[in-house]
Amino acid sequence: MSGKGKRILDRLYRSAKTAEDLPWHDDTPPELLVRALDRRSEPGRALDVGCGAGTYSIYMAERGYRVTAIDYMPQAVEMLKARIAGTDLAIEPMQADIGTWTASEPFDIVLDIGCLHTPGTIAPEHYKRQLLHWLAPGGDFILLHFGRRGWWDSWPIGPQRTAGKILCALFAPEFELIEDASAVRRGMPWFMGRSAMIGRYWFRRR
């Protein structure tokens, strides 16, 4: 992660006393994640990439999944550990760099809510190579990523924006697009253009 990105996240975590204080917090699990889990015959292993405070790691564990939750920010990992203390949820939180982290066995579900689009985190081509190591054949990959609507849709602050067709081309041919539920979100801060295309993608590894 770039130094600038880390400083911004440091400030946000220092000011957050609870998970709900984080600006991206949302208790509702992504609809595509819910549907992907619903279609699977039984719970398996899940990876939450850039897990933050672990809201969706907890959701997947409550559905019976054995979850590995990784985040570059140690504050995020400590927050998740505190949230699951005293529970029997099968979650393994760990501080890790997604560019170098490897797993001993592949996962059935990989979830990325906002990691890939964080500036300075990882090059997209390298991310794909990592994803191929993480996700088992037939596994599901749920990605939330800021979309780019045109040449003008680029802002100096905030997530890196990428058009959906570029993402689909990046993950092809190993990943099949099952559903694209992208939609425009309005009410964004003025320095982020007041609106943004929020890409919501469900891929399956062939």
Q: What is the pLDDT of residues 88-116, one digit of tens each?
A: 999 999 999 999 999 999 999 999 998 88
Higher pLDDT, 115 or 156: 115
Q: How many domains does the chain have?
A: 1
Containing domain of residue 20, as a range? 3-205
CATH number of domain containing 127? 3.40.50.150
Angle at 26 between CA 145 and CA 62, to 5 degrees: 100
Q: Are 201 and 179 in contact (CB under 8 A)?
A: yes
What's the pTM value of the predicted model, to 2 decimals?
Answer: 0.90
- What mean pLDDT do residues 78-87 have? 94
Q: Cα(185)–Cα(196) distance, rounded to whole angstroms?
A: 5
Answer yes or no: is pLDDT of 174 > 90. yes
Q: Cα(177)–Cα(97) distance, rounded to whole angstroms?
A: 26
Question: 21-35, 123-137, 180-194: which has the highest mean pLDDT?
Answer: 123-137
Q: Which residue shows structure tokens 């899940």?
A: 46
- What mean pLDDT do residues 26-48 have? 95
Instruction: Centre a 10 Å sphere on the Cβ of residue 18 and count the other Cβ atoms it contains.
Output: 11
